[in-house]
Amino acid sequence: MTLQAFLLLAVALLAVGLYGALSQQSIVMIMMGLELMVNAVIVAGAAFWFFVSPAQPDGQVVVLVAVTLMAVEMAMGFAVAIAIFRSGEIDMTDMAAELRD
């Protein structure tokens, strides 16, 4: 596989994630779109590391840290989404705006 193939995969993931985040109203679907976009950045970073300096392990460490942070971020996001849902049976973003009042 070439660098261009990995970057094409990253662009495809980013495009699908962006479409998913912008076109949906469900909080969970928006978070899934954000997850795809972060995965696209990780794929692109790992591809650049593999093709630029595969002998050094610093790229692997950065990817591992990014995946760990992504998992923590998504767990916190789902906790917030569950708290919003439990507060008033709200699962759409336009309905969540009513919580300000």
Give 25-78 pLDDT, tens digit per residue. 887 888 889 889 999 999 998 898 889 888 888 878 888 888 898 889 888 888
In a domain, 38, yes or no: yes
pTM of the model: 0.77
Answer whether residue 99 is part of any domain.
no
Residue 101 lies in a domain: no
Residue 98 lies in a domain: no
Residue 13 has pLDDT above 90, yes or no: yes
CB 39 within 8 Å of CB 16? no
**Percent of the chain's residues with pLDDT above 70:** 87
The answer to whether residue 95 is domain-embedded is no
Q: Which residue has the higher pLDDT, 2 or 81?
A: 2
For residue 46, which of 64, 22, 71 has the smallest C-alpha distance? 64
> Residue 7: inside a domain, yes or no?
yes
Res. 95 pLDDT band, cuts 50 70 90 = low
Residues 6 or more apart whose CB falls under 8 angstroms from that of 15 comprise none
Number of domains in the chain: 1
- At 17 the three-state DSSP class reads helix
Q: In whole angstroms, what is the distance from residue 5 CA to residue 51 CA?
A: 12
**What's 18's domain CATH number?**
1.10.287.3510
The answer to whether residue 41 sits within a structural domain is yes
Domain range holding 66?
3-90
Give the confidence band of 94 by pLDDT, cuts at 50, 70, 90.
low
Q: Report whether 31 contacts 82 (CB < 8 A).
A: no
